[in-house]
Amino acid sequence: MPRFMLLALCAALLGCERVVDLDIAEGPRRLVVEARLERVLGAVSGTQVIRLSTTSPYFDAAASPAAHGAVVTVTDDAGGVTTFTESGVAGVYTTSQLVVVAGRGYSLRIDYDGGRYEASEVAQSVAPIDSLYLDTPQPGRFSGSDGVRATIDFADPAGARNFYLWDQYVNGIRQLGPDTSFKYRVSASDDAFDGILVEGFQPYEGVDIPPGGAVLLRQIGLSEAMFRYYFALSDQVSADGSPFSVPPAGVRGNVANRTDPSRFPLGYFFVAEVSEARLRREN
């Protein structure tokens, strides 16, 4: 075959494009619960926020619909009941009357659209961040070699299993994952560092702090159940379709539908202490 004909055939094959319309069943609409009750060390407040929404069709580009008109209450193990009221934003329920106490049990109840949803958690304590500073990248999977990273030191309590979740904000924007391929929340158990002083730890090792950047780093205490939830969630969002990836699956949180268990909700309920540290990188 003449060379010009071969090139023309290759160009034609590469230029072919087939549009495939996928008919994906929507499935039942589910409630989505984002319920964190927190006690920030050194800045105790009774203000708490719970966000409720519902799932939407797979190809819908709009934001998930808010779950308006729910009745939301939290009861502690001493019998105290706190009612959350819907704020000026649909689906956002707030209170200023709930101060979290570490070690106390809390139960969430949501009545929405004819269903009753419940979850229970014990408020977890957390080791305080001793120091937050900037340092050059440490050896790691996503660390890179340029720039500076937010770095912390803290002492893990000995004699108990502790579980952590870290949130990092740069200029008010929460960071997700340390690399463009893997978008997940950074969490860990203390199996490898029980009772020791952790120094030079960079939770978001791939995130460079720009000149003038304001950093907020939050260290959150998790229960073992919630650690496993975040671990499973990370497995799902970091799956790349390779033979070694976990198979796609829905990740169930700890909120149950008591009215119709088959229509389980998505999301979570946890109660925790939080240690916060801030800094700003100079220009």
For 162-199, what is each residue's pLDDT tens digit? Answer: 999 999 999 999 987 544 444 557 899 999 999 999 99
Stretch 141-168: mean pLDDT, rounded? 90
Q: CATH fold of 31-125+253-273, please? A: Immunoglobulin-like (2.60.40)
**CA proximity to 151, closest of 130, 176, 165, 172:** 130
User: What whole-number percentage of the chain has pLDDT above 70?
Assistant: 77
**CA proximity to 125, closest of 80, 163, 85:** 163
For 263-272, what is each residue's pLDDT tens digit? Answer: 999 999 999 9
pLDDT score, position 271: 98
- pLDDT of 243 above 90: no
Round to whole Å and give the CA distance between 113 and 2. 69
pLDDT score, position 181: 42
For 22-45, what is each residue's pLDDT tens digit? Answer: 556 666 789 999 999 999 999 999
Round to whole Å and give the CA distance between 123 and 119. 13
Alpha helices (runs of H) in 122-281, residue ranges in sequence order: 224-237
pLDDT score, position 270: 96
- CA angle (188, 158, 151) in 5-degree steps: 45
The CB density around residue 230, as the number of other CB atoms within 10 Å, is 21
- pLDDT of 11 above 60: no
Domain extent listing, the chain: 31-125+253-273, 129-224
Stretch 232-238: mean pLDDT, rounded? 66
Stretch 216-225: mean pLDDT, rounded? 97
For 83-102, what is each residue's pLDDT tens digit? Answer: 999 999 999 999 999 999 99
Question: pLDDT band at 116, cuts 50/70/90?
Answer: very high
- CA angle (119, 36, 279) in 5-degree steps: 160
- pLDDT of 248 above 50: yes
pLDDT score, position 180: 42
8 Å CB contact between 158 and 211:
no
Question: pLDDT band at 63, cuts 50/70/90?
Answer: confident
- pLDDT of 6 above 80: no
- Average pLDDT, whole number, for the chain? 86
Stretch 277-283: mean pLDDT, rounded? 94
